[in-house]
Chains A and B, each alone.
Chain A
């Protein structure tokens, strides 16, 4: 079974600084997708960034980027120039293409941004 592990229950960062959230996963599949979702205090979860496993290039979305290490099964999220609005719980998620549609989520990391 696929598992996703987020080893940092809580992280904090100073406004305008950079923070990295860690995620590791376990799978025997070779074709899959990885996601980072953000859940602000308002509760609705939204997609932050997505990575296709077959792509070697790390995905980036504005201030958000990932460090995808396929061999190590590691998928960290880097947030640059942190803003107060980045404060939220962040979930790492995995979805195998062979079992499309069923995402496995980590336990989440709560990020606090200090002004």
Chain B
């Protein structure tokens, strides 16, 4: 299996620009998670989906952040407009549904730098 695939691996942008991060979960997994990792705040859950439906978006920091999952094989996390404090590594993870052990399979992350 190919694993969770994220793109881009690295993104450098200027404040005010729109940023779109992409994720392809493992085939057959129906839960998808977006996490943000920083030195200051550690690993934070931003939002998660089950069967393409957002279940909990309470971790989304503000209206500048939005996430979509139009189908079972693709999700995006968008930041518009971006700010320097959004600089972080963003991880996508998937798991096999709401039943079972809920082990998370992570992608390699997207490192975002906002200047």
Q: Interface on A for B, CB 8 Å cutoff?
A: 33, 35, 37, 42-47, 50, 52, 91, 93, 95, 100-108
Known: A45-B106, A100-B99. 9 other contacts (CB 8 A): A33-B102, A35-B103, A43-B89, A43-B108, A44-B107, A45-B93, A93-B104, A100-B102, A102-B55
Asked if B95 contacts A108 (CB within 8 A), the reply is no
Asked if B102 contacts A108 (CB within 8 A), the reply is no
Query: Which one, B40-48, B61-69, B74-82, is touching chain A?
Result: B40-48
29 contacts between A and B (CB under 8 A): A37-B104, A43-B89, A43-B108, A43-B109, A44-B106, A44-B107, A44-B108, A44-B109, A45-B104, A46-B106, A47-B103, A50-B101, A52-B101, A91-B43, A95-B102, A100-B100, A101-B33, A101-B48, A101-B55, A101-B95, A101-B97, A101-B102, A102-B56, A103-B45, A103-B102, A105-B43, A107-B42, A108-B42, A108-B43
Asked if B31 contacts A101 (CB within 8 A), the reply is yes
B interface secondary structure, majority? strand
A47 to B104 CA separation, bound complex (whole angstroms) = 8
Q: Which residue of B lies closest to A33 (CB)?
A: B101
Q: Interface on B for A, CB 8 Å cutoff?
A: 31, 33, 42-43, 45, 48, 50, 55-56, 89, 91, 93, 95, 97-109
Q: Which residues on the A side are within 8 Å of B100 (C-beta)?
A: 100
Q: Which residue of A lies closest to B43 (CB)?
A: A105
Asked if B91 contacts A45 (CB within 8 A), the reply is yes
A107 to B109 CA separation, bound complex (whole angstroms) = 18
Q: Which residues on the A side are within 8 Å of B98 (C-beta)?
A: 100-101
Shortest CB-to-CB span from B98 to chain A, Å, is 4
A106 to B98 CA separation, bound complex (whole angstroms) = 21
Q: Which residues on the B side are within 8 Å of A37 (C-beta)?
A: 104
Q: Which residues on the B side are within 8 Å of A35 (C-beta)?
A: 103-104
